Amino acid sequence: MTIHLRKLCVGADSIDDLSRYVDRIVAQRRKAGDVPLYQHTTRMWPKKEADLQKGGSIYWIIKGMICVRQTIAGFEEYVSADGVRYCRILLEPDLIRVDPRPHRPFQGWRYLKADEAPRDLSADEQKMEPELARDLAELGLI
């Protein structure tokens, strides 16, 4: 069964901010000869890894709204110079805008059932400015 993650996108004020950051990380990985994927490093390894790898995504929460997702490509272990083990969640670099949905802050990440995940926006809806989409979603119009 496919499952997803929800995660606060700390440090990004918009989808464009996240996009620029992802592009920079992917370019660094490409230059280093690594697979050109975005990586999100976390201390904890997801217990539901197998379900996440069946088409799962991270749904990013930016400024209190779930508004974009990235497909999970896999996981890799990372050990820091001081011997601390981390989990790198490897993500496809494409950001897929979703039907914006308000979400309160929390720490870490949380699982999201596939049937509770926001739908991907259509091509026409993708053209809408994210701020406008957020405002319309807050008003319950989309």
Q: Is this model's pTM higher than 0.75 or not?
A: yes
Q: Which two tokens mark 116?
A: 């509770």
* SS3 of the chain: helix, strand, coil, percent, to 5: 25, 35, 35
pLDDT band at 135 (very low <50, low <70, confident <90, very high): confident
Which residues have CB under 8 Å from 108's CB, separation 6+? 42, 44
> Which sign does the torsion angle of CA 35, 40, 43, 44 carry?
negative
pLDDT digits (tens, 9 = 90+) for 20-73: 999 998 999 899 998 888 989 999 999 999 999 999 999 999 999 999 999 999
